[in-house]
């Protein structure tokens, strides 16, 4: 059972750590594509693993690696939700790695690129699978460090260095806030295990100051909200997208920012039961603010990647709104379980829709930029005539995220709005 739990992480981490060796050997024999195929294979195996365990239905899968001190023990729990998200993360990683074979072939430092891409996805998969806050934070930092470096991958451009540094500073501040909230939880309860945390907080609710618990909730939302690109913690994302390779932009908007939303959801729903704590209105406010500001900023953009960045921020607003609506209903109308489930279904479905749709858009935008040598939307006019297949897929992605029926983007938004009514 232990190896079954750790298998996807081991595949991604071992694949990442051995990529430089494979790259060195492949250059020696003049077959550099072997290195690219190695990364693609690691993603393919991981994607197949999650497809298998979801279709097999033998969930949840749990295991624990006991260490001293107790808080450093590693708990793994692969349930339907974590398997669903991990499948999305690994599948988009697979698509991006295949895309990178041609898109990145003229770049240098590709050994490091594929290593970081694999460790990035390993960190995200790890965040969804862990069953304690200590391991979650370790996996979180693995994801963040990989993403900082990938944003500034083209280090010969000042734009990339500046964007990577801005992301590093903002995300580090967010991570420190999140770490402080975790330390407060440990100080109050003496454990970092999710199920034990919830039991101890509920059983000692009368003796723990409510203000302290709401202070922790606020820090969790703010700390992980930086990576989730929630307004007003969003400003790193529009700078990171133009600077990063389009393949990495697809990962940032497609899945990295979703990991921030997942961390908020996982901690709040597991530790602070929505029927006992009133934070739904705060999430709704953040969701509406994020949607409004981002949609206004989208209109003002001429850079295609900044345009897509603000679109991603707006769509994160929908996801946070869905979480807020579900928690608001659970607290104020605890018998309306159907509405709670519908709001959560809409949010989770929108994660899938946006991951695939925005991945498609950024990969398509990368093709346009590669052909036209510009990111200016006014200068990309007519590019669809030269690249009809890329333009067609780009259009499908836009229509999907715009919520045009019968595309899936319509249904996720429909579920959220229906739950609100």
Distance CA 239, CA 306 (A): 7
pLDDT reading at 22 higher than 90: yes
Q: How many CA atoms lie within 13 A of 303 on its CB side?
A: 11
Distance CA 59, CA 1 (A): 12
Confidence of residue 146 (pLDDT cuts 50, 70, 90): very high
Average pLDDT, the chain: 89
Contacts 24+ apart (CB under 8 A), 387-395: 390/364, 391/364, 393/360, 393/364, 394/360, 394/361, 394/364, 394/365, 394/368
Query: 97-114 pLDDT, tens per residue?
Result: 999 998 888 888 899 999
How much is the pLDDT for 123? Answer: 95
Distance CA 338, CA 357 (A): 28
Distance CA 238, CA 235 (A): 6
Mean pLDDT for 127-141 is 92
Q: What are the Cα distances from residue 365, in Å, to 78, 101, 149, 295, 325?
A: 34, 16, 22, 19, 33
Confidence of residue 72 (pLDDT cuts 50, 70, 90): low
Query: 185-240 pLDDT, tens per residue?
Result: 999 988 888 888 888 888 887 788 888 999 999 999 999 999 999 999 999 999 99
Most confident of 56-65, 70-79, 150-159: 150-159
Distance CA 178, CA 124 (A): 16
Distance CA 186, CA 265 (A): 19
To the question of pTM greater than 0.75 for the whole model, the response is: yes
Query: 249-304 pLDDT, tens per residue?
Result: 999 988 899 999 999 999 998 888 887 888 889 999 999 999 999 999 999 998 89
pLDDT reading at 59 higher than 80: no
How much is the pLDDT for 260? Answer: 92
Distance CA 102, CA 98 (A): 8
The DSSP secondary-structure symbol of 333 reads -
How much is the pLDDT for 208? Answer: 84
Structure tokens at 405: 């029926």
Confidence of residue 31 (pLDDT cuts 50, 70, 90): confident
């Amino acid at each position: 059972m232990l190896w079954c739990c750790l298998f996807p992480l081991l595949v991604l981490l071992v694949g990442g750590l051995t990529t430089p060796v494979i790259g060195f050997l492949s250059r020696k024999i003049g077959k550099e594509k072997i290195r690219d195929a190695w990364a693609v294979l690691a993603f393919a195996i991981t994607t197949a693993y999650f497809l298998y365990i979801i279709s097999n239905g033998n969930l949840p899968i749990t295991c624990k690696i006991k260490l001293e001190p107790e808080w450093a023990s590693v708990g793994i729990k692969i349930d339907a939700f974590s398997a669903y998200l991990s499948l999305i993360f690994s599948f988009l990683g697979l698509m991006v790695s295949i895309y990178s074979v041609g898109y990145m072939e003229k770049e240098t430092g590709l050994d490091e690129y594929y290593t970081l891409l694999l460790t990035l996805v390993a960190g995200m998969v790890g965040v969804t699978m862990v069953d304690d806050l200590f391991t979650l934070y370790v996996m979180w930092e693995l994801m963040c460090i990989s993403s900082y470096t990938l944003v500034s991958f083209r280090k010969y451009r000042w734009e990339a260095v500046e964007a990577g540094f801005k992301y590093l500073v903002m995300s580090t501040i967010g991570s420190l806030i999140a770490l402080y909230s975790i330390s407060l939880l440990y100080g109050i309860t003496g454990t970092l295990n999710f199920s034990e945390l919830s039991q101890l907080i509920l059983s000692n609710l009368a003796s723990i100051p409510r203000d302290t618990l709401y202070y922790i909730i606020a820090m969790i939302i703010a700390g992980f909200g930086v990576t989730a690109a929630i307004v007003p913690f969003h400003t790193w994302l529009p700078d990171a997208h133009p600077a990063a390779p389009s393949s990495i932009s697809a990962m940032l908007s497609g899945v990295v920012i979703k990991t921030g939303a997942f961390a908020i959801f996982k901690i709040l729903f597991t530790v602070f039961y929505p029927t006992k704590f009133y934070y739904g209105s705060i999430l709704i406010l953040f969701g509406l603010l994020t949607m409004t500001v981002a949609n206004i900023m989208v209109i003002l953009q001429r850079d295609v990647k900044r345009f897509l960045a603000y679109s991603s921020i707006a769509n994160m607003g929908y996801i946070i709104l869905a979480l807020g609506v579900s928690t608001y209903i659970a607290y104020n109308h605890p018998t309306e379980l159907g509405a709670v489930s519908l709001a959560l279904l809409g949010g989770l479905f929108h994660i899938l829709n946006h991951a695939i749709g925005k991945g498609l858009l950024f990969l398509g935008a990368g093709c346009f930029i590669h052909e036209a040598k510009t990111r200016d939307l006014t200068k990309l006019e007519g590019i669809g005539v030269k690249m009809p297949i890329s333009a067609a897929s780009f259009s499908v992605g836009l229509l999907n995220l715009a919520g045009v029926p019968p595309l899936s983007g319509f249904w996720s938004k429909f579920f959220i709005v229906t739950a609100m009514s």
